[in-house]
């Protein structure tokens, strides 16, 4: 559990598998512990993935936690590699985020003008860029490390629905 107090202090408490609360360990947290990196950031919302959390502040800026897992597993992780909790995902700063969701190892963000940004694991096409690991380039990702950077997902006139499992695309418009 993550929570923000009236004085803008952020705390983590409870299950901390893979370090998802943002601490440098993966042990359960039995009493509330301050997450200093997020204090004073005006956090309004937390969004959970399997082993990571995104936090969005009142300016719609998004922060990520790292997962405390091996480098191989980290390559699937939706958060940015080698960061501490409180790391701002600057690629979304100039976007007006209306909704954000996380799946197991990926994240999707919908802007108020209807654009969708996706990043993280795309093994099953979760971020809307085809199917499989070699499909990452279809979404503007140039290298395996680049999947951790939010990219605009081309919609080509299709309707796109955000869900925690990924993107659902309707290929035809029904009249």
CATH number at residue 74: 2.130.10.30
Does 128 reside within a domain? yes
Count of the separate structural domains present in the chain: 1
Q: Name, in order, each residue with C-beta under 8 angstroms of 71's C-beta and a sequence gap of 6 or more.
A: none
Does 95 reside within a domain? yes
Tens of pLDDT along the chain (175 residues) come to 899 999 999 999 998 877 778 777 788 999 999 988 889 999 999 988 877 888 999 998 888 876 544 343 444 444 434 445 566 777 888 888 888 888 877 888 888 888 888 877 777 777 766 655 544 444 554 444 444 556 666 555 554 455 444 444 443 443 3
Does 55 reside within a domain? yes
| Distance (Å, whole) CA 117 – CA 154 | 9
Does 54 reside within a domain? yes
Does 137 reside within a domain? yes
Does 175 reside within a domain? no
Containing H/E element for 74?
helix 71-74
Does 117 reside within a domain? yes
Gap between the terminal Cα atoms of the chain: 44
**Range(s) of the domain holding residue 95:** 2-170
């Amino acid at each position: 559990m993550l929570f923000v107090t009236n004085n803008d202090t952020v705390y983590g408490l409870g299950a901390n598998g893979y370090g998802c609360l943002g601490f440098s360990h993966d042990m359960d947290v039995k009493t509330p512990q301050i997450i200093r990196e997020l204090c004073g950031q005006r956090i309004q919302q937390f969004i959970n993935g399997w082993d990571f959390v995104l936090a969005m502040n009142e300016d719609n800026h998004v922060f990520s936690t790292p997962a405390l897992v091996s480098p191989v597993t980290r390559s699937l992780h939706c958060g940015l590699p080698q960061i501490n909790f409180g790391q701002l995902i600057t690629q979304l700063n100039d976007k007006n985020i209306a909704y954000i969701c996380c799946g197991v190892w990926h994240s999707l963000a919908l802007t108020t003008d209807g654009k969708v940004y996706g990043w993280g694991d795309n093994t099953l096409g979760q971020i809307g860029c085809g199917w499989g690991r070699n499909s990452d380039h279809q979404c503007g990702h140039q290298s395996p490390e680049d999947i951790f950077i939010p990219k605009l997902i081309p919609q080509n006139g299709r309707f796109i629905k955000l869900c925690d499992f990924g993107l659902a695309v309707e290929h035809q418009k029904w009249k």
